[in-house]
Amino acid sequence: MNDAALLTPGDYADAVATAVRAAAAYYTDGGTPLGDDEYDALLRAVAAYEEAHPDEVLPDSPTGKVAGGAVGGDVPHSVPMLSLDNVFSAEELADWAAGLERRLGRPVAAWCVEPKLDGLAVAARYRAGRLHQLITRGDGLAGEDISHAADAVLGLPAVLAEPVDIELRGEVLLTREQFEHANEVRTAHGAVPFANPRNGAAGTLRAKDRPYRVELTFFAYSAVGADDLDHAALLERLAALGAHTAAATAARPLRCATLEEAQRRIEEIAALRSELPFGIDGVVVKADSSVDQQDAGSGSRAPRWAVARKLAAEHKVTRLLDVEWNVGRTGIIAPRAVLEPVVIDGVTVTYATLHNPADITRRGLMLGDRVFVYRAGDVIPRVEAPLVEERTGDERPIVFPEACPRCGDAIDSTEQRWRCARGRNCQAVASVIYAAGRDQLDIEGLGGTRAVQLVESGLVTDIADLFSLAREQLLGLERMGETSTDNLLAAIETARSRPLNRVFCALGVRGTGRTMSRRIAAHFGSMAAIRAADAETLARVDGIGPEKARVIVAELAELAPLLDRLAARDVGTAVTAPQAPVAAAGASAAAEGPAVAGEGGAGPLAGEAVVVTGSMTGPLAALSRNEMNELIERAGGKASSSVSKRTTLLVAGEKAGSKRAKAEELGIRIVTPDDFAVLVAGQLPGAEAGTEAEAGTEAEAGTEA
């Protein structure tokens, strides 16, 4: 549909006014009443109307202007500091590239592809290698002096490696970690949280005389004074001078010989988006050759040799309608935001996490607020902050529960995450369903409906009761015939002999999940040893620090009666030899965190940190991802769900995607499923050395419960 057809002359004037207001907010303090997608769509509609009605263009229209013409400054730029034109699909990018080559009269020599960082563009002027002045982009011709903020910007050196006169240009942003820390610091000083990282970066750069410090990060992507270098070479030169560039990130700039290669790199960076430590709102494609750049030239707003391939927004603005309070299987009372439906990256979002009551208070949320909602990839959507300036006075405070929303008992609010005083007893059904799940006790036939029936009939109050159910009791239940009864009892009997790690995982101990249960079981070898361990001993397990160890010890004390009853029913009583972890794989592991070695300490994967991605084939085709990770542990390795510098081996099946690209970038060994099956042949299901009972370990591909 033609965008111009969407606007009448009156709509056009309103759209221009809205776009100017949004641009002013976006480019000055990073806040805006519109999400990125809505702002882009508005600008496209305005531009389409103006193309169809060139005699009606309003003088304050944001089209053709840097930063929408909304901002300026009093420090002139030595060379105009332009924006980028946008494309929104692979087809539009191909059309843009074809137009550039027509303008040049020749094919583009090569392309450079890099992430489009979601921050504020700045110019850093150096004299004899020393930082002299830091300036915002402003309207492209002049910007604002923000030199007072330079010492808080990481990656922006005060002194370069060489005494040169040069002007670095790049983006200042808040990484995700810096953003969270900034809001903690702000709320501790009574200030309103930043709405989003861009808002935080803009506000921080302009702020003076704050009683607290907020650190930011600089990424250089161009320079004035090194115009004879191709773009890829320029980035190397900037890094050599000591400036921070995106070359050290998974989304590093890449020189591509063809547009097809550039398109593939765009897809790779887009796939990495949720894993990056900073926000991006697109991918930039540039003609790499300095000759191509000079011959293509620039317009009043943007260079003709570079374009931004925009990605769907991860942040959207919507309204907070209500807050629901849900009780989890361990009694945790979790708030959930009910939102006015909003589409984020192709998914309609109606609910989002609010973490805990303290988080609600810290963000200053109210019912009826317009709020920023964030979603990246498969990450659960979360509410970030309200648009306080848009409040009408009709907003209402969020009411926190005074009693457990499920059972009405008292609430333990001594920790940030509130909990029903009855703990997991408040959610017996949820606890039973979780314990019976495939990755825990794997009791086939015990789903949600059956669990409700058993709990409501009084036959089951916790998982220990499952192992004392009598045939006559089950036959007395509705819709329980002889066959279904016998099948369920047989499944329960099989579950009695599950290995220690699965039984421990079935308990649902806070601070643990399948991975941590596997590590704990491998470390101690028996339930008795686990129960006897104090916090100091537990903290020695890979991934358990002092704080989590204290929580686990308290949980086990609370679970003591249940554990006694399970032991009396011979559940979880198997004993295996405890296994000490071996040395970390890779010299850099010690600097990055816990040792990355297999819990088993022996086997074909001893010392390996293994990631599995893509669809498995051959002997591994029938294995779930959890079973694959369990296989890795049996073979002496350590399973992980994400590729990092600590990864030593990637098993890449069909459609491996971004994890394979990242492994290739880091120089990590990559094998096919068939090659991996040969490597661990003695540990495959059915092999004498690799039975589940002997292994006593289990892994998971996702985050811990």
User: Structure tokens of 515?
Assistant: 């991975």
Q: What is the CATH number of domain 589-695?
A: 3.40.50.10190
CATH class of 442-495: mainly alpha
Per-residue pLDDT reduced to its tens digit, 655-689: 787 788 888 888 899 999 999 999 988 777 655 43
Closest to 35 in 3D by CA, of 359, 370, 381: 370
Q: Which two tokens stand for residue 645?
A: 């510098």
Identify whether 116 is a catalytic site residue. yes
Instruction: For 274-314, write each residue's pLDDT tens digit.
Output: 788 898 989 999 999 999 999 999 998 899 999 999 987 77
Highest mean pLDDT among 148-157, 591-600, 632-641: 148-157
| Cα gap 256→506, rounded to integer Å | 50
Neighbours of 165 (CB within 10 A): 12
Q: Report pLDDT for 417.
A: 85
Please give the CATH superfamily to which domain 3-69 belongs: Helix hairpin bin (1.10.287.610)
Least confident of 108-112, 201-205, 632-636, 690-694: 690-694
433 burial type by CB count under 10 A (0-12 exposed, 13-18 middle, 19+ buried): buried
CATH of domain 319-390: 2.40.50.140
Q: Rounded distance, CA 328 to CA 281, Å?
A: 35
> Strand 166-173 relative to strand 85-87: parallel, antiparallel, unpaired?
unpaired
Please list, residue by residue across 408-422, b when 16 or more beta carbons sit within 10 angstroms of its beta carbon and e when fewer do.
eeebbbeeebbbbeb
Residue listed under structure tokens 């070479």: 233
Q: Say what percent of the chain tops pLDDT 90.
A: 42
Q: What is the pLDDT of residue 68?
A: 52
The structure tokens 């059309």 sit at 95
Residue 549 neighbours by CB under 8 Å, 6+ apart: 535, 536, 538, 539
Spot the catalytic one: 65, 116, 310, 638. Answer: 116
- The amino acid that residue 230 corresponds to is D
Kindly compute the dihedral angle of the four CA atoms of residues 119, 122, 126, 129, in this order, to the nearest 10 degrees: 10
507-538 pLDDT tens trace: 988 878 888 888 898 889 899 999 999 999 99
Q: Is the pTM of this model over 0.75?
A: no
Do residues 142 and 75 lie in contact, with contact meaning Cβ atoms separated by under 8 Å? yes
Q: How far apart are the first and last CA of the chain?
A: 46
75-310 architecture in CATH? 2-Layer Sandwich (3.30)
* Two structure tokens written together for 467: 């192992």
Cα 632 to chain center, whole Å?
25
CB-CB contact of 521 with 694 (8 Å):
no
Sequence letter at residue 672: T
pLDDT digits (tens, 9 = 90+) for 347-403: 788 999 888 898 898 888 999 999 988 876 556 788 888 888 889 999 999 999 999
Considering just the CA atoms, what is the radius of gyration of the chain in Å? 29
Among 438, 518, 531, 503, smallest CA distance to 704 is for 518
Report the alpha-carbon distance of residue 696 to residue 389 in Å, rounded. Answer: 56
Of the two residues 263 and 15, the one the predictor is more confident about is 263
Asked, colleague to colleague, whether 442-495 and 500-568 share their fold, the answer is: yes
Contacts of 657 (CB under 8 A, 6+ apart): 271, 613, 614
Closest C-alpha among 587, 523, 511 to residue 556: 511
User: pLDDT tens for residues 547-584?
Assistant: 889 889 988 998 999 999 999 999 988 776 665 443 33
Contact 109, 288 (CB under 8 A): yes
| Residue-level pLDDT at 685 | 65
pLDDT of residue 592 exceeding 60: no
Q: What's the angle, vertex CA 622, arms to CA 617 and CA 628, rounded to 5?
A: 85
Query: Which of 525, 542, 519, 514 is CA-nearest to residue 624?
Result: 514
Superfamily of domain 500-568: 5' to 3' exonuclease, C-terminal subdomain (1.10.150.20)
For the chain, the structural domain boundaries read 3-69, 75-310, 319-390, 442-495, 500-568, 589-695
pLDDT at 253 over 50: yes
